[in-house]
Amino acid sequence: MPLLAEVNEAELGPFVLASVLLSLIVIYLAAKLGGELCARVNLPSVLGELVGGVIVGVSALNLVVFPEGAEPVHSALMDFLQLTAHLEPDALLAIFKSQSEVISVLAEIGVVILLFEIGLESDLKELIRVGPQAAVVAIVGVVVPFVAGTVGLIAFFNVATIPAIFAGAALTATSIGITAKVLAELQTLSSREGQIIIGAAVLDDVLGIIVLAVVASLAKTGEIEITNVIFLIIGAAVFLVGSILIGRLLSPFFVMVVDQMQTRGQVLISSLIFAFVLSYIAAAIQLEAILGAFAAGLILAETTKRKELEEQISPIADMLVPVFFVTVGAHTDISVLNPLNPDNREGLIIASFLVIVAIIGKVITGFTVFGQEDINRLAIGVGMIPRGEVGLVFAGVGAASGVLSESLDAAIIVMVIFTTFVAPPLLRVVFNQDDDSDSGANAEPSQAMAQASTD
């Protein structure tokens, strides 16, 4: 019955749009309520967006949920759609899947836009200048938590080698999105500390991709696919260096073309084409799209179009970035935190060990920064703490591969939750302490992203 199928699909179309609009309404309400509450008690608003996401997500209201696991997921949003639009269960499931797919991609485009904006507000010369320090921070921040976590789990908790390596790997991640957003809110993105954190977080993202590839192949086949790892490392190096070199060569040509254009949105659309091309290349060579977007932002920041572009990208970021943070919160199942559930206790004990390693392992990285006097070393270490969505990816791959026990999987999730939610307020504290010292003098106000800062 191909004709019938066609009618059905055409008939479902408006409902997919309706359910996406409904999801966006819920996401925006959660983001704004959470963000405003946090702003009022002097916390970064991104924390509010994460907490708002937890409340509307799988942990509480079940409004923003994703049918990706094996078990059927209950969506209160779909109940509401059913109530208002009267649909058959089959149609409802198809709509639910399409809606989740669209919201997931919108969230991913959101973080692509966020990294593009962060790149635009960063200073390539400063990043290159602090490059060696950022590299040391990134490498120490990967090696120390990985070794301490893996060895500790084997020694103190009798965990087998492969799951211990997996958990150790999850400890290496840094969520560049969360850190960058908090730095922007605190107007410290362009400070020396801010640029070291951003540089280290970008390198950490690359290292994280390599670590994940290694442990995933280890979990699947018990062996490490050396060629794949070498390919990833070379790809990442060539991409980061190559895109910036070629991009800088081509950017005068870009400005010339844009100046010739007469139709509406010429700067914005040309820049998005550029950013999406680099994002696509990064994704195609198995890096992450956000790395391409960041590189594109860095390159365009050096052109005469920077200011105009910052103004135009700002409302787009306002529209799409909250989708990312709220869905990160919505994906997080905080029921593993409940100590009253006896099943959780073993996980919580392991988790407290992982949390300590996760925090200490990153905080010490700040003290490895060399050749910089009067720098806020604590702020750099704290900036590397949040695991965020990167940690959730590790937990998800680990759960799916079957190598992690339930309690170890829960412990990783608790570690991710804790580091993600504790980092934004901590960052505000450690940067505020720094207000008198002279390193704050480097910080030029990051005008486009500064509204949230209330102090």
Asked if 115 touches a copy of itself (CB under 8 A), the answer is: no
Please report, as residue ranges, which positions from 298 to 337 form the binding site for a copy of itself (by CB under 8 A): 312-316, 318-319, 322
Asked if 162 touches a copy of itself (CB under 8 A), the answer is: no
Listed ranges 192-200, 229-237, 276-284, 413-421: which one lies at the site for a copy of itself (CB under 8 A): 276-284
CA dist list (Å): 364 to 196, 224, 378, 429, 436 = 14, 29, 8, 17, 23
Asked if 396 touches a copy of itself (CB under 8 A), the answer is: yes
Sign of dihedral through CA atoms 319, 391, 95, 283?
positive
Asked if 142 touches a copy of itself (CB under 8 A), the answer is: no
The residue among 420, 411, 385 whose CA lies nearest residue 163 is: 411
Closer residue to a copy of itself, CB minimum distance, 118 or 452:
452
Asked if 69 touches a copy of itself (CB under 8 A), the answer is: yes
Q: How far is 424 from 437, CA to CA, in rounded Å?
A: 21
**Helix (H) or strand (E) run with residue 211 in it:** helix 192-221
Identify the residue among 51, 55, 78, 112 touching a copy of itself (CB under 8 A): 112
Residue type, 446: S
Q: How far is 235 from 247, CA to CA, in rounded Å?
A: 17
Residue 364: CB minimum distance to a copy of itself, A? 32
Please report, as residue ranges, which positions from 256 to 275 form the binding site for a copy of itself (by CB under 8 A): 261-266, 268-270, 272-273
Please report, as residue ranges, which positions from 88 to 107 form the binding site for a copy of itself (by CB under 8 A): 98, 101-102, 104-105
Q: What spatial distance separates the first Cα and last Cα of the chain, rounded to whole Å?
A: 64
Report whether 358 contacts 391 (CB < 8 A): no
Listed ranges 140-148, 297-305, 334-342, 444-452: which one lies at the site for a copy of itself (CB under 8 A): 444-452
Listed ranges 29-37, 171-179, 294-302, 347-355: which one lies at the site for a copy of itself (CB under 8 A): 29-37
Asked if 400 touches a copy of itself (CB under 8 A), the answer is: yes
Identify the residue among 9, 88, 259, 406 touching a copy of itself (CB under 8 A): 9
Return the structure tokens found at 200. 């280290």
Residue 313: CB minimum distance to a copy of itself, A? 7
| Burial tier of 215 (Cβ tally within 10 Å: 0-12, 13-18, 19+) | buried
Closer residue to a copy of itself, CB minimum distance, 108 or 193:
108
Asked if 10 touches a copy of itself (CB under 8 A), the answer is: yes
CA dist list (Å): 102 to 8, 13, 21, 98, 397 = 19, 13, 11, 6, 22
Asked if 108 touches a copy of itself (CB under 8 A), the answer is: yes
Residue 453: partners with Cβ closer than 8 Å, 6 or more residues away: 185, 186, 187
Asked if 35 touches a copy of itself (CB under 8 A), the answer is: yes
Asked if 425 touches a copy of itself (CB under 8 A), the answer is: no
Closer residue to a copy of itself, CB minimum distance, 229 or 319:
319
Report whether 388 contacts 177 (CB < 8 A): yes
Listed ranges 381-389, 398-406, 412-420, 437-445: which one lies at the site for a copy of itself (CB under 8 A): 398-406
Closer residue to a copy of itself, CB minimum distance, 126 or 310:
310
Listed ranges 3-11, 114-122, 296-304, 347-355: which one lies at the site for a copy of itself (CB under 8 A): 3-11
Asked if 25 touches a copy of itself (CB under 8 A), the answer is: yes
> Which residue has 């924390």 as its token pair?
47
CA dist list (Å): 281 to 124, 243, 300 = 20, 10, 17
The residue among 242, 200, 219, 204 whose CA lies nearest residue 379 is: 200
DSSP 285: T
Residue 239: CB minimum distance to a copy of itself, A? 13
DSSP 336: G
Closer residue to a copy of itself, CB minimum distance, 136 or 448:
448
| Burial tier of 257 (Cβ tally within 10 Å: 0-12, 13-18, 19+) | exposed
Binding residue count for a copy of itself, defined by CB under 8 A: 77
Angular region, 338: left φ>0, alpha ψ -120 to 50, beta rest: beta
Residue 365: CB minimum distance to a copy of itself, A? 28
SS3 265: coil
The residue among 201, 226, 231 whose CA lies nearest residue 214 is: 226
Site string for a copy of itself, 207-246 (x = CB under 8 A): ----------------------------------------
Listed ranges 63-71, 194-202, 365-373, 378-386: which one lies at the site for a copy of itself (CB under 8 A): 63-71
Asked if 14 touches a copy of itself (CB under 8 A), the answer is: yes
Residue 260: CB minimum distance to a copy of itself, A? 8
Residue 342: CB minimum distance to a copy of itself, A? 26
Residue 343: CB minimum distance to a copy of itself, A? 20
Asked if 189 touches a copy of itself (CB under 8 A), the answer is: no
Max distance between CA atoms of the chain, in angstroms, equals 74
